Structure 1
Amino acid sequence: MQKLLISIVALIALVFGVVIYNNLPKPEPQALVYDPPRTLESFTLESSLGNDVTNSNLQGQWTLLFTGYTFCPDICPTTMANLRKAMPDLQKQAEHPVNVWMISVDPQRDTVQRVTDYAGFFGPEFVGVRAEHPQLYPFVNGLGLMYSIPDEGATDYLVNHSAAIVLVNPDGQRQAIFKAEHVMGEIPSVNMTQLITDFAIIASQFD
Protein backbone atom coordinates (compact mmCIF):
# COMPACT_ATOMS: atom_id res chain seq x y z
CA MET A 1 0.00 0.00 0.00
CA GLN A 2 2.81 2.39 0.90
CA LYS A 3 4.63 1.62 -2.37
CA LEU A 4 1.43 2.31 -4.30
CA LEU A 5 1.00 5.63 -2.51
CA ILE A 6 4.60 6.60 -3.27
CA SER A 7 4.10 5.71 -6.94
CA ILE A 8 0.93 7.80 -7.15
CA VAL A 9 2.64 10.78 -5.52
CA ALA A 10 5.60 10.44 -7.89
CA LEU A 11 3.26 10.28 -10.89
CA ILE A 12 1.37 13.37 -9.73
CA ALA A 13 4.66 15.22 -9.24
CA LEU A 14 5.81 14.21 -12.72
CA VAL A 15 2.57 15.35 -14.35
CA PHE A 16 2.65 18.59 -12.37
CA GLY A 17 6.25 19.18 -13.46
CA VAL A 18 5.40 18.61 -17.12
CA VAL A 19 2.47 21.03 -16.89
CA ILE A 20 4.67 23.68 -15.26
CA TYR A 21 7.40 23.19 -17.89
CA ASN A 22 4.97 23.44 -20.79
CA ASN A 23 3.60 26.68 -19.39
CA LEU A 24 6.98 28.33 -18.90
CA PRO A 25 7.62 31.17 -21.35
CA LYS A 26 9.62 29.89 -24.33
CA PRO A 27 12.87 31.75 -25.11
CA GLU A 28 12.45 34.22 -27.95
CA PRO A 29 15.27 35.24 -30.30
CA GLN A 30 16.23 38.90 -30.44
CA ALA A 31 16.75 38.65 -34.19
CA LEU A 32 13.97 39.65 -36.56
CA VAL A 33 12.35 36.32 -37.44
CA TYR A 34 10.09 36.08 -40.48
CA ASP A 35 6.88 34.18 -39.76
CA PRO A 36 6.23 32.66 -42.15
CA PRO A 37 9.68 32.49 -43.77
CA ARG A 38 9.98 34.47 -47.01
CA THR A 39 10.63 32.91 -50.39
CA LEU A 40 13.60 34.22 -52.35
CA GLU A 41 13.23 35.25 -55.97
CA SER A 42 15.08 33.09 -58.49
CA PHE A 43 18.76 34.01 -58.84
CA THR A 44 21.96 32.89 -60.52
CA LEU A 45 25.32 34.02 -59.15
CA GLU A 46 28.94 33.18 -59.88
CA SER A 47 30.63 31.50 -56.94
CA SER A 48 33.86 30.27 -55.43
CA LEU A 49 32.51 26.71 -55.74
CA GLY A 50 33.64 26.58 -59.36
CA ASN A 51 30.14 26.85 -60.78
CA ASP A 52 27.15 29.17 -60.69
CA VAL A 53 24.83 28.92 -57.70
CA THR A 54 21.04 29.19 -57.71
CA ASN A 55 18.23 28.86 -55.17
CA SER A 56 18.76 25.11 -55.02
CA ASN A 57 22.24 25.61 -53.53
CA LEU A 58 20.65 27.09 -50.41
CA GLN A 59 18.56 23.99 -49.74
CA GLY A 60 19.58 21.31 -47.26
CA GLN A 61 21.69 23.68 -45.16
CA TRP A 62 21.52 26.76 -42.99
CA THR A 63 23.15 29.71 -44.73
CA LEU A 64 24.30 33.00 -43.26
CA LEU A 65 24.52 35.68 -45.96
CA PHE A 66 26.01 39.13 -45.78
CA THR A 67 27.20 41.79 -48.20
CA GLY A 68 30.87 42.68 -48.44
CA TYR A 69 33.82 43.04 -50.79
CA THR A 70 37.44 41.97 -50.81
CA PHE A 71 38.80 45.54 -50.61
CA CYS A 72 36.67 46.28 -47.52
CA PRO A 73 38.92 47.70 -44.78
CA ASP A 74 36.90 46.89 -41.67
CA ILE A 75 33.34 45.50 -41.53
CA CYS A 76 33.90 42.58 -43.91
CA PRO A 77 37.08 41.04 -42.47
CA THR A 78 35.73 41.58 -38.95
CA THR A 79 32.46 39.84 -39.77
CA MET A 80 34.19 36.96 -41.55
CA ALA A 81 36.62 36.44 -38.67
CA ASN A 82 33.82 36.54 -36.11
CA LEU A 83 31.76 34.03 -38.08
CA ARG A 84 34.75 31.72 -38.36
CA LYS A 85 35.12 31.77 -34.57
CA ALA A 86 31.38 31.18 -34.14
CA MET A 87 31.18 28.34 -36.67
CA PRO A 88 31.90 25.41 -34.27
CA ASP A 89 29.14 26.60 -31.92
CA LEU A 90 26.72 27.12 -34.80
CA GLN A 91 27.38 23.66 -36.23
CA LYS A 92 26.53 22.10 -32.86
CA GLN A 93 23.10 23.74 -32.79
CA ALA A 94 21.56 22.26 -35.93
CA GLU A 95 21.03 18.96 -37.70
CA HIS A 96 21.77 20.57 -41.07
CA PRO A 97 25.19 21.95 -42.10
CA VAL A 98 25.88 25.66 -41.61
CA ASN A 99 27.57 27.71 -44.33
CA VAL A 100 28.37 31.37 -44.96
CA TRP A 101 27.93 33.25 -48.21
CA MET A 102 29.76 36.52 -48.65
CA ILE A 103 27.96 38.42 -51.41
CA SER A 104 30.43 40.73 -53.13
CA VAL A 105 28.91 44.14 -53.81
CA ASP A 106 31.92 45.31 -55.81
CA PRO A 107 31.57 43.58 -59.19
CA GLN A 108 34.04 45.89 -60.90
CA ARG A 109 37.01 44.74 -58.79
CA ASP A 110 35.87 41.44 -57.30
CA THR A 111 36.42 38.72 -59.86
CA VAL A 112 35.47 35.11 -59.19
CA GLN A 113 39.12 34.39 -58.41
CA ARG A 114 39.31 37.21 -55.87
CA VAL A 115 36.18 36.12 -53.99
CA THR A 116 37.37 32.51 -54.15
CA ASP A 117 40.71 33.38 -52.56
CA TYR A 118 39.07 35.66 -50.01
CA ALA A 119 36.37 33.23 -48.88
CA GLY A 120 38.75 30.28 -48.92
CA PHE A 121 41.00 31.96 -46.36
CA PHE A 122 38.29 31.61 -43.71
CA GLY A 123 37.48 27.95 -44.20
CA PRO A 124 35.56 25.40 -46.30
CA GLU A 125 32.18 26.59 -44.96
CA PHE A 126 32.71 30.02 -46.52
CA VAL A 127 31.53 30.70 -50.06
CA GLY A 128 32.11 33.86 -52.07
CA VAL A 129 29.49 34.87 -54.63
CA ARG A 130 29.34 37.71 -57.15
CA ALA A 131 27.30 39.05 -60.07
CA GLU A 132 27.04 42.16 -62.18
CA HIS A 133 24.77 44.93 -60.93
CA PRO A 134 21.66 43.94 -62.96
CA GLN A 135 21.59 40.54 -61.21
CA LEU A 136 23.25 41.60 -57.97
CA TYR A 137 21.07 44.50 -56.89
CA PRO A 138 17.70 42.65 -57.02
CA PHE A 139 19.21 39.72 -55.13
CA VAL A 140 20.66 41.91 -52.37
CA ASN A 141 17.49 43.98 -52.16
CA GLY A 142 15.40 40.81 -51.94
CA LEU A 143 17.38 39.79 -48.86
CA GLY A 144 16.44 43.06 -47.16
CA LEU A 145 20.00 44.40 -47.54
CA MET A 146 21.49 47.29 -49.51
CA TYR A 147 24.65 48.63 -51.07
CA SER A 148 25.76 51.72 -52.95
CA ILE A 149 28.97 52.83 -54.65
CA PRO A 150 29.41 56.61 -54.51
CA ASP A 151 32.31 56.81 -56.99
CA GLU A 152 32.79 53.56 -58.87
CA GLY A 153 34.69 55.44 -61.57
CA ALA A 154 37.62 56.02 -59.21
CA THR A 155 40.44 53.52 -58.86
CA ASP A 156 40.29 53.41 -55.07
CA TYR A 157 36.78 53.64 -53.66
CA LEU A 158 34.71 52.37 -50.75
CA VAL A 159 31.35 50.62 -51.01
CA ASN A 160 28.53 51.44 -48.63
CA HIS A 161 26.73 48.26 -47.62
CA SER A 162 24.64 46.64 -44.91
CA ALA A 163 26.40 45.09 -41.92
CA ALA A 164 23.46 42.83 -41.05
CA ILE A 165 23.50 39.05 -41.57
CA VAL A 166 20.57 37.19 -43.16
CA LEU A 167 19.71 33.61 -42.19
CA VAL A 168 18.29 31.31 -44.87
CA ASN A 169 16.76 28.03 -43.71
CA PRO A 170 17.31 24.56 -45.25
CA ASP A 171 14.22 25.07 -47.41
CA GLY A 172 16.00 28.00 -49.07
CA GLN A 173 13.75 30.62 -47.45
CA ARG A 174 14.68 33.81 -45.64
CA GLN A 175 14.21 32.87 -41.98
CA ALA A 176 15.69 35.76 -39.98
CA ILE A 177 17.95 38.78 -40.03
CA PHE A 178 20.57 39.60 -37.40
CA LYS A 179 21.01 43.35 -37.28
CA ALA A 180 24.35 45.02 -36.59
CA GLU A 181 24.96 46.99 -33.43
CA HIS A 182 25.96 50.60 -34.07
CA VAL A 183 28.17 52.03 -31.34
CA MET A 184 29.74 55.45 -31.81
CA GLY A 185 33.43 55.12 -32.60
CA GLU A 186 33.22 51.38 -33.33
CA ILE A 187 32.76 49.28 -36.47
CA PRO A 188 29.12 48.21 -36.92
CA SER A 189 28.94 44.48 -36.28
CA VAL A 190 26.54 41.71 -35.35
CA ASN A 191 26.81 40.47 -31.77
CA MET A 192 28.04 36.91 -32.32
CA THR A 193 27.13 35.70 -28.84
CA GLN A 194 23.55 36.77 -29.43
CA LEU A 195 23.59 35.35 -32.96
CA ILE A 196 24.64 31.93 -31.64
CA THR A 197 21.93 32.03 -28.97
CA ASP A 198 19.26 33.11 -31.45
CA PHE A 199 20.35 30.57 -34.03
CA ALA A 200 20.03 27.75 -31.50
CA ILE A 201 16.42 28.78 -30.78
CA ILE A 202 15.52 29.18 -34.45
CA ALA A 203 17.18 25.94 -35.54
CA SER A 204 15.51 23.93 -32.75
CA GLN A 205 12.10 25.18 -33.83
CA PHE A 206 12.84 24.31 -37.47
CA ASP A 207 14.57 20.95 -37.06
Structure 2
Amino acid sequence: MQKLMIVLAAVIAAAIGVASYQLWPKAEPEALVYQPPRAPAPFQLQSTESPDAINNQALKGQWTLLFTGYTFCPDICPTTMSDLKNALPNLQQHTDTPVKVWMISVDPKRDSMERLKEYTGYFGDAFVGIRAEHPQLFPFVRDLGLMYSVPEEGEENYLVNHSAAIILVNPDGNRIAIFNADHQAGKIPVVDMEQLKRDFAIIAG
Protein backbone atom coordinates (compact mmCIF):
# COMPACT_ATOMS: atom_id res chain seq x y z
CA MET A 1 0.00 0.00 0.00
CA GLN A 2 2.82 2.37 0.92
CA LYS A 3 4.57 1.68 -2.40
CA LEU A 4 1.32 2.37 -4.26
CA MET A 5 0.95 5.71 -2.47
CA ILE A 6 4.52 6.65 -3.38
CA VAL A 7 3.91 5.80 -7.05
CA LEU A 8 0.64 7.78 -7.08
CA ALA A 9 2.37 10.75 -5.47
CA ALA A 10 5.12 10.64 -8.10
CA VAL A 11 2.56 10.47 -10.94
CA ILE A 12 0.60 13.40 -9.52
CA ALA A 13 3.77 15.45 -9.06
CA ALA A 14 4.81 14.75 -12.65
CA ALA A 15 1.36 15.72 -13.94
CA ILE A 16 1.46 18.98 -11.98
CA GLY A 17 4.93 19.69 -13.35
CA VAL A 18 3.82 19.16 -16.95
CA ALA A 19 0.70 21.29 -16.44
CA SER A 20 2.73 24.08 -14.83
CA TYR A 21 5.22 24.04 -17.71
CA GLN A 22 2.44 24.25 -20.30
CA LEU A 23 0.68 27.07 -18.45
CA TRP A 24 3.87 29.02 -17.73
CA PRO A 25 4.09 32.01 -20.07
CA LYS A 26 6.67 31.38 -22.78
CA ALA A 27 9.27 34.02 -23.64
CA GLU A 28 8.37 36.13 -26.66
CA PRO A 29 10.90 37.84 -28.96
CA GLU A 30 11.21 41.61 -28.70
CA ALA A 31 11.90 41.86 -32.42
CA LEU A 32 9.13 42.15 -35.00
CA VAL A 33 8.39 38.55 -36.00
CA TYR A 34 6.63 37.89 -39.28
CA GLN A 35 3.65 35.57 -38.96
CA PRO A 36 3.73 33.76 -41.25
CA PRO A 37 7.34 34.13 -42.48
CA ARG A 38 7.58 36.03 -45.76
CA ALA A 39 9.28 34.76 -48.89
CA PRO A 40 11.54 37.35 -50.56
CA ALA A 41 10.64 38.37 -54.08
CA PRO A 42 12.73 36.56 -56.75
CA PHE A 43 16.21 38.08 -57.08
CA GLN A 44 19.48 37.73 -58.99
CA LEU A 45 22.54 39.06 -57.16
CA GLN A 46 26.30 38.71 -57.04
CA SER A 47 27.91 37.00 -54.06
CA THR A 48 31.46 36.70 -52.78
CA GLU A 49 30.66 33.01 -52.21
CA SER A 50 29.86 32.18 -55.82
CA PRO A 51 31.32 32.97 -59.25
CA ASP A 52 27.80 32.79 -60.68
CA ALA A 53 24.74 34.90 -59.91
CA ILE A 54 22.75 33.72 -56.91
CA ASN A 55 18.99 33.61 -56.37
CA ASN A 56 16.54 32.76 -53.58
CA GLN A 57 17.96 29.25 -53.26
CA ALA A 58 21.14 30.73 -51.74
CA LEU A 59 19.19 31.62 -48.59
CA LYS A 60 18.02 28.07 -47.93
CA GLY A 61 19.65 25.59 -45.55
CA GLN A 62 21.01 28.24 -43.18
CA TRP A 63 20.00 31.05 -40.87
CA THR A 64 20.95 34.34 -42.54
CA LEU A 65 21.29 37.81 -41.03
CA LEU A 66 20.97 40.46 -43.76
CA PHE A 67 21.82 44.12 -43.47
CA THR A 68 22.66 46.95 -45.84
CA GLY A 69 26.09 48.54 -45.77
CA TYR A 70 29.15 49.49 -47.80
CA THR A 71 32.89 49.25 -47.41
CA PHE A 72 33.46 53.03 -47.23
CA CYS A 73 30.92 53.34 -44.38
CA PRO A 74 32.62 55.14 -41.48
CA ASP A 75 30.55 53.98 -38.51
CA ILE A 76 27.38 51.86 -38.65
CA CYS A 77 28.76 49.12 -40.93
CA PRO A 78 32.07 48.32 -39.24
CA THR A 79 30.38 48.50 -35.84
CA THR A 80 27.58 46.15 -36.92
CA MET A 81 30.02 43.75 -38.56
CA SER A 82 32.18 43.61 -35.43
CA ASP A 83 29.15 43.17 -33.19
CA LEU A 84 27.85 40.31 -35.36
CA LYS A 85 31.26 38.64 -35.42
CA ASN A 86 31.27 38.64 -31.62
CA ALA A 87 27.65 37.43 -31.45
CA LEU A 88 27.92 34.57 -33.97
CA PRO A 89 29.41 31.95 -31.60
CA ASN A 90 26.49 32.53 -29.23
CA LEU A 91 23.92 32.30 -32.04
CA GLN A 92 25.46 29.10 -33.37
CA GLN A 93 25.01 27.45 -29.96
CA HIS A 94 21.24 27.51 -30.48
CA THR A 95 21.12 25.71 -33.82
CA ASP A 96 22.80 22.91 -35.73
CA THR A 97 22.20 24.85 -38.95
CA PRO A 98 24.92 27.27 -40.13
CA VAL A 99 24.43 30.96 -39.30
CA LYS A 100 25.67 33.41 -41.93
CA VAL A 101 25.74 37.16 -42.41
CA TRP A 102 24.99 38.86 -45.71
CA MET A 103 26.30 42.40 -46.03
CA ILE A 104 24.34 43.84 -48.94
CA SER A 105 26.42 46.61 -50.49
CA VAL A 106 24.41 49.72 -51.28
CA ASP A 107 27.41 51.30 -53.03
CA PRO A 108 27.88 49.24 -56.22
CA LYS A 109 29.86 52.05 -57.85
CA ARG A 110 32.79 51.68 -55.43
CA ASP A 111 32.24 48.21 -53.98
CA SER A 112 33.66 45.76 -56.51
CA MET A 113 33.45 42.05 -55.81
CA GLU A 114 37.16 42.04 -55.02
CA ARG A 115 36.79 44.85 -52.50
CA LEU A 116 33.73 43.22 -50.93
CA LYS A 117 35.49 39.88 -50.64
CA GLU A 118 38.46 41.47 -48.89
CA TYR A 119 36.20 43.46 -46.56
CA THR A 120 33.88 40.62 -45.51
CA GLY A 121 36.75 38.13 -45.37
CA TYR A 122 38.31 40.16 -42.59
CA PHE A 123 35.38 39.23 -40.34
CA GLY A 124 35.38 35.50 -41.10
CA ASP A 125 34.03 32.76 -43.34
CA ALA A 126 30.44 33.27 -42.13
CA PHE A 127 30.36 36.74 -43.71
CA VAL A 128 29.21 37.09 -47.31
CA GLY A 129 29.35 40.19 -49.50
CA ILE A 130 26.35 40.79 -51.77
CA ARG A 131 26.13 43.32 -54.59
CA ALA A 132 24.16 44.27 -57.69
CA GLU A 133 23.64 47.34 -59.81
CA HIS A 134 20.88 49.69 -58.68
CA PRO A 135 18.16 48.36 -61.05
CA GLN A 136 18.41 44.94 -59.36
CA LEU A 137 19.60 46.12 -55.95
CA PHE A 138 16.96 48.72 -55.10
CA PRO A 139 13.91 46.41 -55.55
CA PHE A 140 15.64 43.70 -53.50
CA VAL A 141 16.43 46.07 -50.62
CA ARG A 142 12.97 47.64 -50.73
CA ASP A 143 11.31 44.21 -50.68
CA LEU A 144 13.21 43.45 -47.45
CA GLY A 145 11.67 46.55 -45.88
CA LEU A 146 14.98 48.44 -45.92
CA MET A 147 16.18 51.55 -47.77
CA TYR A 148 19.23 53.40 -49.02
CA SER A 149 20.02 56.61 -50.87
CA VAL A 150 21.53 56.78 -54.35
CA PRO A 151 24.29 59.43 -54.75
CA GLU A 152 24.02 62.12 -57.39
CA GLU A 153 25.53 61.37 -60.79
CA GLY A 154 29.21 62.31 -60.85
CA GLU A 155 29.74 62.35 -57.09
CA GLU A 156 33.02 60.73 -56.02
CA ASN A 157 33.37 61.19 -52.26
CA TYR A 158 29.99 60.57 -50.71
CA LEU A 159 28.16 58.87 -47.85
CA VAL A 160 25.26 56.51 -48.46
CA ASN A 161 22.32 56.81 -46.11
CA HIS A 162 20.92 53.35 -45.41
CA SER A 163 18.91 51.30 -42.93
CA ALA A 164 20.70 49.99 -39.86
CA ALA A 165 18.16 47.22 -39.20
CA ILE A 166 19.01 43.52 -39.52
CA ILE A 167 16.71 41.00 -41.21
CA LEU A 168 16.64 37.36 -40.06
CA VAL A 169 15.91 34.74 -42.72
CA ASN A 170 15.11 31.17 -41.66
CA PRO A 171 16.52 27.97 -43.25
CA ASP A 172 13.49 27.81 -45.56
CA GLY A 173 14.69 31.06 -47.11
CA ASN A 174 11.88 33.19 -45.66
CA ARG A 175 12.08 36.40 -43.68
CA ILE A 176 11.08 35.63 -40.11
CA ALA A 177 12.09 38.71 -38.08
CA ILE A 178 13.50 42.22 -38.26
CA PHE A 179 15.75 43.75 -35.60
CA ASN A 180 15.48 47.52 -35.69
CA ALA A 181 18.37 49.74 -34.70
CA ASP A 182 18.40 51.50 -31.36
CA HIS A 183 18.41 55.24 -32.05
CA GLN A 184 19.86 57.30 -29.20
CA ALA A 185 21.01 60.90 -29.35
CA GLY A 186 24.75 61.17 -29.89
CA LYS A 187 25.20 57.43 -30.55
CA ILE A 188 25.58 55.33 -33.70
CA PRO A 189 22.23 53.67 -34.53
CA VAL A 190 22.96 49.96 -34.28
CA VAL A 191 21.00 46.85 -33.34
CA ASP A 192 21.08 45.77 -29.69
CA MET A 193 23.09 42.53 -29.94
CA GLU A 194 22.00 41.27 -26.53
CA GLN A 195 18.38 41.50 -27.64
CA LEU A 196 19.27 39.85 -30.96
CA LYS A 197 20.94 36.94 -29.16
CA ARG A 198 17.98 36.47 -26.80
CA ASP A 199 15.47 36.62 -29.63
CA PHE A 200 17.44 34.29 -31.88
CA ALA A 201 17.52 31.68 -29.12
CA ILE A 202 13.71 31.86 -28.90
CA ILE A 203 13.08 31.87 -32.66
CA ALA A 204 15.60 29.16 -33.55
CA GLY A 205 14.85 27.01 -30.50
Measured against the shorter chain, the TM-score band is over 0.9
Partner of residue 34, structure 1: 34
Any idea what SS the aligned residue of 1:147 has? coil
Residues 30-65 of structure 1 deviation map (CA, whole Å, 9 limit, x = unaligned): 000000000111111111113222110100000000
TM superposition shift of 1:150: 4.3
Q: Distance in 1 between matches of 2:162 and 2:88?
A: 23
| More deviation, 142-151/93-102 | 142-151
Question: May I ask how many residue pairs the two structures share in their alignment?
Answer: 204
Partner of residue 9, structure 1: 9
TM superposition shift of 1:149: 2.8
Partner of residue 98, structure 1: 99
Q: Distance in 2 between matches of 1:6 and 1:119?
A: 62
TM-score (normalised: structure 1): 0.96
Partner of residue 24, structure 2: 24
Partner of residue 87, structure 2: 86
CA RMSD of aligned residues (A): 0.9
Q: Distance in 1 between matches of 2:123 and 2:176?
A: 24
Any idea what SS the aligned residue of 2:104 has? strand
* Residue pair 1:149, 1:158 contacting (<8 A) in 2 also: no
TM-score (normalised: structure 2): 0.97
* Residue pair 1:46, 1:131 contacting (<8 A) in 2 also: yes
Identity %: 62
Residues 58-106 of structure 1 deviation map (CA, whole Å, 9 limit, x = unaligned): 0000000000000000000000000000010011111211000000000
Partner of residue 139, structure 2: 138
Partner of residue 187, structure 2: 186
Question: What are the ranges of 5 or more consecutive residues in structure 2 without an aligned counterpart?
Answer: none
* Residue pair 1:151, 1:157 contacting (<8 A) in 2 also: no
Question: What are the ranges of 5 or more consecutive residues in structure 1 without an aligned counterpart?
Answer: none
Partner of residue 65, structure 2: 64
- Map 1:155-170 to 2 at 5 A: 155-170=156-171
